[in-house]
Amino acid sequence: MRPDWSPRPLHALVVLTVAGAMTFSTPPAVFAEAAPSERQAEVDAVRENAHHAASMLIDSTLPDEWNLQLDELSSTDVDDATAASRLAEIETEVDAVLSAIVAPEPFTFTFTGTSNTLRLPIRNTGPEPLRVELRVRSPKLATDKPTESVEVPALGSVEVDVPVEARSRGTFTIEVDVLAPDGAQIGPPVVLKGRVSHVNGLSQVITGGAALVLASWWYMHLRRRRAERRTEHAMIPE
């Protein structure tokens, strides 16, 4: 039987000389494309979260700083220990932005009219003003603006009014999603429980319990500060 001398690509053969004889074998996997390094995978993961956080920031230099540092960490010029430390620092800054928004607390309510307004409190615990979006979803409610863009001041809070219209009577749930402006969801959805007692032309405003909790917290905080100041003044010798 004649050997098969059909032409083959040069890169598909490796020529080995053993005791004066030539043999052909398939090359090892050195020709395969190298898989991404473990460090690059970590850089890409942090960069993705940084993109979500950057879309929330308003007039901040942090996104540019993150991009520059992440580009540097993709280079092999940075040793592994330094890269790991700097990646951890960036990740901490990114997580601080993503976790600064406090979503509304779940609450239960009753609609007594067709047109209603959900008033949802949003709080920002971070030092930077942030922009987020609220999305309201329910099969038993209709709204002209299912998604509301909101700017929350640093260390502050806002109340978002979402006009809704009841489609039918009965009990139902509403899911409220807090999103980054690029569409990424921040935390799990907030589930509100509601009931439409009857449908008529009246309208009402439904306020979440979180607003009352927040107001109570500020009231107690101010009272405590005033008491501390009175104590400090009483301790000052005349």
Count other Cβ atoms within 10 Å, centred on residue 33.
Answer: 6
Are residues 199 and 166 in contact, defined by beta-carbon separation less than 8 angstroms?
Answer: yes
Percent of the chain topping pLDDT 70: 68
| Dihedral angle, C-alpha 37, 43, 48, 54, nearest 10 ° | -160
**Do you know the residue count of the chain?**
238
Residue 208: the pLDDT is 56
pLDDT above 90 covers a percentage of the chain that reads 49
Between helix 62-73 and helix 38-56 the angle, nearest 10°, is 170
Residue 6, token pair as written in the block: 């059909």
Most confident of the following: 2-11, 28-37, 111-120, 135-144: 135-144
Tokens 């929350």 belong to residue: 152
Whole-model pTM: value is 0.68
Sign of CA dihedral 86, 90, 95, 101: positive
pLDDT tens for 138-149 read: 988 888 888 999
Q: Which residue has the higher pLDDT, 181 or 25?
A: 181
CB atoms inside a 10 Å sphere around CB 54: 20
Residue 93 tokens read as 């800054």
| Mean of all residue pLDDT scores within the chain | 78
At 41-59, the pLDDT tens digits run 999 999 999 999 999 999 9
Give me 227's structure tokens.
Answer: 């008491």
How far is Cα 166 from Cα 115, in angstroms, rounded to an integer?
7
pLDDT-wise least confident of 69-73, 85-89, 109-113: 109-113
Q: Is 71 left (phi over 0), alpha (psi -120 to 50) or beta?
A: alpha
**CATH architecture of the domain covering 104-219:** Sandwich (2.60)
